[in-house]
Structure formats: structure tokens, C-alpha cells
Copies of this chain bind each other. A is one copy, B any other.
Amino acid sequence: MSSIVQVSKIVGVSRATVARAFASPEQVKPETREKIYQAAKTLGFRPNYAARQLRTQSSKMLGVMLPTLNNPIFSGQLEAMEKMARENGYSLLVATTEYDPQAELEILENMLRQRVDGLILTVANAQQSDCLNKIKEEAIPTVLTHNPIQNTDFISINIDNYAAMYDATQRLIEYGHCHIAMLTGPFFQSDRSALRYQGYADAMTAAGLIAMPVVEMHSHTQVHIDTLLPLLKQNVTALLCSNDLLALSSIGNLQRLGYLVPEQISVVGFDGISLGKTLYPALSSVAQPRELLGWLSVKTLLQMISGQPVTSQTLCTQFNLEESMSNAPQHTSIDKDLS
């Protein structure tokens, strides 16, 4: 016997009244409402959201799919999203993909079966994604984060990766750097990498400098010394990293090799994680507004769910000029030749 019936019997009302006492309290006389709450408490009754969902066709759940939580940019965004969702009466179903398109598909299917009211996701590659193609056929409110979207098929909250990296590169050039290398994680796993590299490359070219080929790491978070050494031999004076963890790892490795940062080599990251500012040298970085991004993506999704018109938004990044970056060393190549 459904426990709602038990409550109704104890209080001496119909089950409809009990249901109303929880779903729309204002429709029930305060007096009986209190009696119902009291009985519910002693019986340990509590509304069953699955049943409610079945009836109302709304789960009050949002599906969140992110590549990983090991990067503070994602975990911070997730925390902001959860808070915003909860404040609006929504729960979050969370899964990570590790940039694996197969996992993306399976997670999506599961979330659709759960009947989440909407989806917030960052896919590995938005230009070529079975996951997104599948979503298109489903007509479920969806917000992309981080993924650059050319066409108008999806709403996306993101930043201008190209412009941000173009800008960062220009800053380094203004500081006199000519030999600038760019480091990324596994390049083809993420569609952001290419945009950022293009921004770097175009800024170099525009300044009459030569863009170097991308330096690709096996990991999104760790730099190996072996990949750094060749760059140093090429007299690179500045390193642009596609995220802060790579940048910090680079600094650590450089210092361990005896290099001075920024005196001999400048390092610039991407994301603006808070740890970067507190370390020494503090990390120069292209800061992404990750709380805002999380907050806004949930807000946008809720608006879509309620049928309001929404638009994609490109959030501003901010270049944090910190200690890890300085003017290019003079006569670097000469020094090296002498040594």
C-alpha cells in the first residue's frame, strides 16, 4: 500500500489531499496540512519523485557531461552549476567522458532514459560528434559549454579561444619574445586545442614571426622533460600552454633543469586557476570565468526548459599578467652559442 495512503488514513483525509499538501501546500488548509506533515513524519513518509516525474513528465534533473574533473576549470564549473541548479530546484546527474566519444554516446543514452529535463555538456569535438548528432534528433534542451559552435544548431556558452590565445601571444611578442612555443595536451581530443593554436599561429605570423609546430603532450596535465629540452635548444624564450596545469608542470620542470622563470623563459597558461596566483612565480594566464560560465549555462538551460528564447554567449577572458612572464632575455642565442 502506498505510504501516501497510510498517511491519508491516519489523518482522515483522501490521498489527494496528502499529495497536495506536498506538491502545492497553498491549496490545503494550514490546519490539515500540519496534521498531514505530522503524520508523514511519524510514518517516515516522503514524496516519491519518480512517481511525480512520471505524472508531471518532468524530472527536475539536469544531465551534466564533462570530459574530466581533474582540471579545476571543469570541477569549479561543476560546483557552480550544482549550486545554481539546486537553488532552482533541480538535481544534477553527472558523468565524465575522458574525451571518449563512445562514452559520450553511452552517457547520453542513459541520461535520455532518465528523462533529464535538459543537458549541459562539453563534448570532445563539436564539429564532428555522434553525440551531438543524436541530440539533434531528440529535441531536448541542451547547452554546450566550452565547445565552439559555428552553426546555429546549438546554444553554447563559451569563450573565444582563438582571440584569447591571439591576445596572449601578442602580449608575449610585446614583451620582446620572438621564439614562442605552444604546448597542448592530446591535440585531437579537444576542439579547443586547434582554435587556440590557430590564435597563436596567426598572432605570430601577423608579427612577422614564425609559428612553431604545436608541441603535443601525452597528458592533459603533465609535461615531460624530454619534450621540453628540444625547445630549449631552439632558444625558445616563452612557452604558451593550453591549460594551467601544463603551464605549472612546465615551470616545475624548467626550474628543476636550472632555468629561471621568467628571467630566462616566460611561461603563460590558460584557464586562470586560483592556485596559479598563489604560487611563486605566480602564473600568467588567460583566465576563464568558470563560475560565471557554470552559472550562466544553468541559467540558460533553465530558460530553454521554460520555453524562453536564449542565445549563445561568448564570455570575456582576462589576461592575468603575473610573475611567470617578463621581457625576453637579451642575447639569448649568443649566450647559448658561447656556452
Contacts and interface: CB of A to CB of B under 8 A. Distances in A.
A95 B275 CA distance: 23
Interface of A: 44, 46-51, 53-54, 59, 61, 68-70, 72, 75-76, 78-79, 82-83, 86, 91-96, 106-107, 109-115, 137-138, 221-223, 245, 248-249, 251-253, 255-256, 274-275, 278-280, 282
B248 A278 contact: yes
Given A221-B275, A245-B275, 16 more contacts: A48-B115, A49-B114, A50-B50, A54-B54, A68-B79, A69-B75, A69-B78, A86-B95, A91-B93, A91-B95, A222-B278, A249-B275, A252-B278, A252-B279, A255-B280, A256-B280
How many copies the complex holds: the figure is 2
**A interface majority secondary structure:** helix
A76 B68 CA distance: 9
Contacts of A96: 79, 82-83
A92 to B, nearest CB: 6
Given A70-B79, A249-B278, A278-B223, A50 B59 contact: yes
A76 B69 contact: yes
B107 A86 contact: yes
28 contacts: A44-B137, A46-B112, A46-B113, A47-B113, A48-B113, A48-B115, A49-B113, A51-B54, A68-B79, A69-B69, A69-B76, A69-B79, A70-B75, A78-B94, A83-B96, A91-B110, A92-B94, A93-B93, A93-B94, A222-B274, A245-B275, A249-B275, A249-B278, A251-B279, A252-B280, A252-B282, A253-B278, A253-B280
Contacts of A245: 275
Contacts of A86: 95, 106-107, 110
